[in-house]
């Protein structure tokens, strides 16, 4: 395990987007094989799955052939786990907005530490390394010390290493309803007007509880040297017909910055430590310690550049649960397999929404839930 840990640490220590696709593939392939071997020793069910995979993972010569797990399998309760109960430091739960049961992933100390390092390595590449005032558009409730942490809390906590001080500008009432603490926001803006500032919020919370309430008064907080990170997906904003460009413009208008300062990132609690911010070209990239494979639903083979498919997230970071090779329920388009004008090496891709939900039917009308595309 120590040797494995050293290898993971090595990948965490190099610049996350500096490797050519071949270099990255080679490094990930070897390490992922070792992690699969380790995992098989720790979970008989997982070992059974790996054993019956159509390709022997030891002889696989590409990451795409390694046995991936569908992310939905992490909804198991009790969660799939490679460590003993006394080693569990925290359990992360997904937001479960599109299904009734959340995913549960257990973190031991090592995985938890790597998660933080992974996020820092990635975010540093986008916003620089310095600590700065951190405005969190949420309530502190999500960071209460507890054994369980949700997706919002994990994201807020993941950015803490960039904070010199943290300010929460929302309050929650007894029913959990969020309201903007307007005075706190104005005080923060006044105090840090000339500073480099970091803002984070879930996408729909930024819109519903910050932008929308302040829209009628045309307020400008005038913090030009700001980076606004948000995550959590667009579904709830799409329901309100809010486009990404409009969202960025309105946030930029409120903070008095350029829309380029707004960075949308994709992350899942199931793939801890590997997040995918938008680069200035509007693309997302995989870091040195992880990667993305976009698979053709018909063959499950990686798609060609330009094509759409189901996203698989690869990460060497977790060793406490089977989160190394996860087939998500998201769709994406591969823009290129290398050469993004932003300078980041490796795959560049864009998300294209969720895999449409479908329920089993017998002689059933499968289009019932597909009316949006009819």
Site residues (vs other proteins, CB under 8 A): 44-49, 52, 54-55, 65, 68-70, 72-73, 76, 80, 297-301, 309-310, 327, 329, 331, 355-368, 370-371, 373-374
Please report the sign of the dihedral spanned by the C-alpha atoms of residue 202, residue 11, residue 74, residue 295: positive
Nearer of residues 243 and 367 to other proteins, judged by Cβ = 367
- Minimal distance in Å, beta carbon 250 to other proteins? 30
Nearer of residues 14 and 47 to other proteins, judged by Cβ = 47
Nearer of residues 45 and 129 to other proteins, judged by Cβ = 45
Q: How far apart are CA 50 and CA 270, in angstroms?
A: 19
* 119 neighbors 275 (Cβ within 8 angstroms): yes
How many H helices and E strands in the chain? 10, 17
- Minimal distance in Å, beta carbon 41 to other proteins? 13
Nearer of residues 49 and 337 to other proteins, judged by Cβ = 49
Nearer of residues 131 and 235 to other proteins, judged by Cβ = 235
Nearer of residues 23 and 25 to other proteins, judged by Cβ = 25
The end-to-end CA distance of the chain, in Å, is 51
- Minimal distance in Å, beta carbon 206 to other proteins? 29
Tokens of 17: 């987007």
**CB count, 10 Å around CB of 86?**
6
> DSSP letter at 304?
P
- Minimal distance in Å, beta carbon 57 to other proteins? 12
- Minimal distance in Å, beta carbon 43 to other proteins? 8
Nearer of residues 170 and 332 to other proteins, judged by Cβ = 332
- Minimal distance in Å, beta carbon 136 to other proteins? 33
* 116 neighbors 274 (Cβ within 8 angstroms): no
Nearer of residues 141 and 329 to other proteins, judged by Cβ = 329
- Minimal distance in Å, beta carbon 214 to other proteins? 35
Q: How far apart are CA 206 and CA 242, in angstroms?
A: 12
Q: What does residue 273 show for φ and ψ, rounded to 5 degrees?
A: 85, -10
Tokens of 330: 């998201």
- Minimal distance in Å, beta carbon 124 to other proteins? 34
Distances in Å between the Cα of 205 and the Cα atoms of 62, 214, 228, 326 are 40, 13, 13, 27
Helix ranges (DSSP H) in the chain:
2-13, 21-42, 44-51, 109-127, 151-158, 182-191, 203-206, 212-214, 235-239, 244-255
**CB count, 10 Å around CB of 120?**
18
- Minimal distance in Å, beta carbon 327 to other proteins? 6
Buried b (16+ CB within 10 A) or exposed e, 171-210: eeeeeeebebeeeebeebbeebeeebbbbbbbbbbbbbbb
């Amino acid at each position: 395990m120590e040797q494995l840990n050293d290898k993971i640490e090595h990948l965490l220590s190099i610049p996350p987007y500096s490797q050519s696709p071949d270099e990255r593939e080679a490094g990930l392939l070897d390490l992922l094989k070792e992690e699969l071997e380790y995992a098989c020793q720790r979970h008989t069910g997982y070992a059974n799955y790996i054993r019956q995979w159509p390709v022997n993972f030891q002889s696989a010569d590409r990451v795409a052939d390694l046995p991936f797990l569908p992310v939905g399998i992490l909804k198991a309760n009790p969660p799939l786990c490679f460590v003993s109960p006394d080693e569990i430091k925290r359990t992360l739960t997904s937001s479960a907005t599109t299904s009734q049961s959340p995913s549960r992933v257990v973190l031991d100390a090592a995985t938890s530490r790597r998660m933080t390092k992974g996020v820092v390595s990635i975010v540093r590449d986008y916003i620089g390394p310095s600590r700065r005032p951190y405005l969190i558009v949420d309530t502190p409730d999500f960071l209460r010390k507890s054994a369980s942490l949700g997706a919002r809390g994990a994201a807020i906590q993941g950015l803490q290493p960039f904070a010199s001080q943290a300010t929460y500008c929302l309050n929650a009432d007894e029913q959990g309803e969020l309201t903007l603490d307007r005075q706190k926001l104005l005080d923060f803006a006044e105090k840090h007007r000339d500073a480099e500032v970091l803002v984070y919020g879930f996408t729909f919370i930024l819109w519903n509880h910050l932008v929308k309430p302040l829209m009628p008064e045309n307020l400008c907080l005038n913090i030009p040297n700001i980076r606004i990170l948000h995550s959590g997906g667009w579904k709830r904003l799409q329901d309100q017909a809010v486009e990404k460009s409009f969202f960025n413009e309105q946030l930029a208008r409120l903070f008095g910055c350029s829309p380029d300062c707004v960075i949308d990132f994709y992350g899942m609690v199931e793939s801890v430590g590997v997040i995918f911010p938008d680069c200035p070209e509007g693309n997302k990239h995989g870091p040195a310690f992880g990667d993305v494979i976009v698979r053709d639903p018909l063959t499950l083979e990686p798609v060609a550049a330009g094509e759409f498919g189901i996203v698989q997230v690869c990460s060497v970071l977790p060793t406490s649960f089977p989160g190394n090779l996860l087939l998500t329920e998201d769709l994406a388009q591969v823009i290129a397999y290398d050469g993004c004008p932003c300078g980041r090496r490796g795959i560049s891709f864009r998300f294209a929404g969720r895999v449409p939900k479908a329920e089993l039917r017998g002689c059933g009308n499968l289009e019932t839930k597909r009316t949006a595309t009819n």
